[in-house]
Amino acid sequence: MQILVVDDETDVRDLFQQRFRREIRSGEWSFSFAFSGEEALDFLRQHHSEVLIILSDINMPGMSGLDLLGHVKEEFEMPPTTMMMITAYGDDDSHRKALALGAHDFLSKPVDFAVLKEKLAHLRPA
């Protein structure tokens, strides 16, 4: 299953690839990365049906995670596309807004990878 991770920090790719190395090796998950909202939209348009889960940071320069969520909701069907938002500020405001915009789940930084893995496992079609 394809997961698109959107974050303006490029080292996120290395981190995810190592954190999920077993899952990637076993073919359980496959990761793609985008470093801005715009890049993520481009990627989604090109790989329309492949991506099911989008894991996006909210605080990004330019198009924010919430903007991206709006665009995704407009252009793609949700579900099956699922969006999970990450923010550095664990504030209720962003949480409420993300949920109102149709985000399926919400994580706050620093990301607890054990929790993330658990959530992802739930999202996997049985």
Selected from 13, 67, 102, 104, the binder of another protein by CB under 8 A is 67
- Min dist CB 61 to another protein, Å, is 5
Tokens linked to 90:
């664990």
Is 88 near another protein (CB under 8 A)? yes
**3-state SS class at 108:** strand
Selected from 26, 27, 46, 61, the binder of another protein by CB under 8 A is 61
Q: Rounded to whole angstroms, how far apart are CA atoms 57 and 51?
A: 17
- Which of these, 46, 42, 91, 94, lies nearest to 71 by C-alpha position? 42
Segment near another protein (CB under 8 A); pick from 42-50, 74-82, 103-111, 116-124: 103-111
At 112, which helix (H) or strand (E)? none
Segment near another protein (CB under 8 A); pick from 44-52, 73-81, 107-115, 116-124: 107-115
